[in-house]
Amino acid sequence: MDLEGALEDMRQYFRSGKTRDASWRQSQLKGLLLFLKEKEAEIFQALKEDLGKHHVEAFRDEIGTVKKSINYALKGLKEWMSSKKAKLPIIALLSSAEVVPEPLGLVLVISSWNFPFGLSLEPLIGAIAAGNTMVLKPSELAPSCSSLLANSLPTYLDTRAIRVIQGGGAVGEQLLQQKWDKILFTGSARVGQLVMAAAVKHLTPVVLELGGKCPAVVDSLSSSWDREVAVNRILVSKFGACAGQACVAVDYILVEKRYASTLVELMKVKIKEMFGEDPQASNSIARIVNQQHFLRLKNLLSDPAVQNSIVYGSFMDEKNLFVEPIILVDPPLQGAIMTEEIFGPLLPIITLEKIEDSINFIYSRPKPLAIYAFTKDQRFANRMLSETSSGSLVFNDAVIQYAADSLPFGGIGESGIGNYHGKYSFDTFSHYKAVARRSYLTDFWFRFPPWNNHKLLLFDTVYNFDYIGMLLVILGLKRSR
């Protein structure tokens, strides 16, 4: 395929102004909705093939959320597209100021394999809503999903403006050599760095949705109801989120020593409730995506010290790429399992003397995409809020912030740059252009040279909004500052 030629065609189409029409944007969003509706069975099938994902999990995490986001965008589109007036100081007189959103042009979205529809289509919604043309490169590690997107989307969307280009690292590199007006990348920090480095050539702004180790801090919860709710939420946010292969999944837990065993026992009970005696047979836990990642996870457990810290679970089926829920208590902190993002169904629990120690523990590590704090202690909650930094902070739940339309979704530090979701998707793919209008009727004659002290005095009063002072200077009653 002649990539450069294809992209130039898309640029020309953008220049024609077609994608700026509100009606075009609406039609594309509705087309996407139709795709999700008509192709639902094929989508579930593709996710089953690529990841062994249960269709309820798929709907909850990827399909339902995208539908919700499309409707949210359709509803907000007109308002988002409108210019916003900016306040002017009185002295400005007869001028107007506003901020006008405009599309950036041609944008590139590179998505990840773990939520191949969600992470491709959420950015697509933002790019379309903001009036851009877009190229999507889905992950080659989820090949059925990638094909489905590449083969079906052309039926539902305007192919002059939106194209899917399939491929792996080589195609990705080729794409990164081109000139884009924005790049949104979801994936690992290592590749994120390569994306940003490639973006330097054309000074392309980037959004990098990366990962990190998202901790769940579990404070003492006196009520057994609260404990059960907390455990349910943590478990579904680990084993129920693509088997822990999610940037927002709970990576590890921090809990006080004295509650650790209660927590572990409760988890064992709840895991059985959710996944039955034979988790593999329940089909409710996704597969590990490929052998490379399977072996990576196996390796995390190879160190005898880590092996010894396992308190639950052990079953790993290489042929079927299945790993059952595995819980560890206090594996060595220098081990890879505690220094790298796990991205799998291994759940370390780190015990602390006091729950407040969790603050330093988190602070001394790279900033995560999210922190989950389960607590009813208001003072502790306030400390978590002001003394830790993360993309998001959720109290008493996990992962669910992904579904909140009004909250920006993105990281900080190593967990990412920029954000999206809801109106933030529109914002991220827009340029907010400042527009000021003046009339000919008013001017400050002292704006122009030749310069003298009188003009200087006038300027000084103007800039200080000192109307009385200005009057005095004009009347000749004020001669110095």
247 is catalytic: yes
242 is catalytic: no
Binding flag, residue 460, other proteins (CB under 8 A): yes
Within 201-220, which residues bind other proteins (CB under 8 A)? 201, 203, 205, 208, 210
Minimum gap (Å) between residue 368 Cβ and other proteins: 12
- For 70, list phi and psi in degrees, rounded to 5: -65, -45
Q: Which CB, 65 or 120, lies closer to other proteins?
A: 65
Selected catalytic residue, list 57, 122, 209, 356: 209
For residues 260 and 302, the answer to whether their CB atoms sit within 8 Å is no
Minimum gap (Å) between residue 336 Cβ and other proteins: 21
Binding flag, residue 395, other proteins (CB under 8 A): yes
Q: Which CB, 275 or 322, lies closer to other proteins?
A: 275
x/- letters, 18..47, toward other proteins (CB under 8 A): ------------------------------
Among 7, 104, 247, 347, binds other proteins (CB under 8 A): 104
Q: What's the CA gap between 231 and 236, in Å, rounded?
A: 9
For residues 256 and 354, the answer to whether their CB atoms sit within 8 Å is yes
Within 284-303, which residues bind other proteins (CB under 8 A)? 284
Selected catalytic residue, list 62, 247, 256, 324: 247
Binding flag, residue 466, other proteins (CB under 8 A): no
Specify the stretch interacting with other proteins by CB under 8 A; choose among 99-107, 156-164, 294-302, 325-333: 99-107
Question: What are the DSSP calls for 224-276, one per residue?
Answer: HHHHHHHHHHHHHTTTTTGGG-STTS--EEEEEHHHHHHHHHHHHHHHHHHH-
Q: Which stretches of 104-213 are DSSP H helices?
A: 118-129, 143-156, 169-176, 189-199
Q: Which CB, 146 or 388, lies closer to other proteins?
A: 388
Minimum gap (Å) between residue 405 Cβ and other proteins: 6
Within 115-174, which residues bind other proteins (CB under 8 A)? none
Sheet containing 162-164: give its strands across. Answer: 162-164, 133-137, 106-110, 182-186, 206-209, 416-417
Q: Which CB, 168 or 276, lies closer to other proteins?
A: 276
For residues 155 and 127, the answer to whether their CB atoms sit within 8 Å is no
Binding flag, residue 330, other proteins (CB under 8 A): no
- Where is 326: in which H helix or E strand? strand 326-329
Specify the stretch interacting with other proteins by CB under 8 A; choose among 157-165, 166-174, 441-449, 468-476: 441-449
For residues 66 and 421, the answer to whether their CB atoms sit within 8 Å is no
Binding flag, residue 68, other proteins (CB under 8 A): yes
Minimum gap (Å) between residue 481 Cβ and other proteins: 9
Minimum gap (Å) between residue 195 Cβ and other proteins: 9
Residue count at the site for other proteins (CB under 8 A)? 104
| Identity of residue 132 | N
Calculate the CA dihedral of residues 189, 192, 196, 197 and round it to 10 degrees.
80
Minimum gap (Å) between residue 327 Cβ and other proteins: 17
Q: Which CB, 197 or 471, lies closer to other proteins?
A: 197
- For 106, list phi and psi in degrees, rounded to 5: -115, 120
Among 18, 55, 160, 296, binds other proteins (CB under 8 A): 55
Distances (CA, A) of 112 to 66, 136, 188, 474: 15, 11, 9, 66
Q: What's the CA gap between 195 and 465, in Å, rounded?
A: 47
DSSP strand pairing (182-186 vs 106-110): parallel
Binding flag, residue 310, other proteins (CB under 8 A): no
SS3 42: helix
* Tokens 């880590």 -> residue: 306
Minimum gap (Å) between residue 246 Cβ and other proteins: 15
Handedness of CA 375, 379, 385, 389 (dihedral sign): negative
Specify the stretch interacting with other proteins by CB under 8 A; choose among 3-11, 22-30, 188-196, 311-319: 188-196
Within 263-282, which residues bind other proteins (CB under 8 A)? 274-276, 282
Question: What are the DSSP calls for 409-443, one per residue?
Answer: B---GGGEE--BSTHHHHHHTEEEEEEEE--SS--
Within 353-392, which residues bind other proteins (CB under 8 A)? 363, 376, 385-386, 389-392
How many H helices and E strands in the chain? 20, 18
Q: Which CB, 333 or 456, lies closer to other proteins?
A: 456
Within 401-440, which residues bind other proteins (CB under 8 A)? 401, 403-409, 412-414, 416-419, 431-440
For residues 100 and 435, the answer to whether their CB atoms sit within 8 Å is yes
Within 233-262, which residues bind other proteins (CB under 8 A)? 233, 235-236, 240
Specify the stretch interacting with other proteins by CB under 8 A; choose among 126-134, 145-153, 231-239, 468-476: 231-239
Specify the stretch interacting with other proteins by CB under 8 A; choose among 49-57, 113-121, 136-144, 148-156: 49-57
| Identity of residue 368 | P
Annotated catalytic residues are 209, 247
